[in-house]
């Protein structure tokens, strides 16, 4: 088994507002349909106010 990482970037227009956090669900559903197992996430880029603006979704694949 090994891991795959999918980078999710929040829309730049939402940096100052409450960001729409729905796009990750599509990625998780798609990878699950491919047989991968979601195992977690990791923030990889933060904006100037400390808000996470990019993160990796982590999947275990056979």
pLDDT at 47: 85
pLDDT at 51: 83
In the chain, the number of structural domains is: 1
**43 three-class SS:** strand
CA distances from 26 to 1, 46, 47, 50 (A): 23, 22, 24, 25
Q: Whole domain around residue 52: which residue ranges?
A: 2-61
pLDDT at 23: 77
Is the whole model's pTM more than 0.85, yes or no?
no
Q: Identify the band that residue 50 occupies on the pLDDT scale cut at 50, 70 and 90.
A: confident
The answer to whether the beta carbons of residues 25 and 6 sit under 8 Å apart is: no
Q: Mind listing the pLDDT tens digit for each residue in 2-34?
A: 999 999 987 665 555 555 566 788 899 999 999
């Amino acid at each position: 088994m090994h891991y795959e990482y999918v980078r999710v970037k929040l829309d730049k227009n939402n940096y100052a507002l409450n960001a729409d956090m729905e796009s990750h669900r599509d990625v998780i559903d798609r990878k699950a349909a491919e047989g991968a197992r979601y195992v977690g996430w990791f923030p990889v880029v933060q904006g100037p106010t400390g808000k996470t603006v990019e993160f990796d979704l982590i999947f275990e694949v056979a």
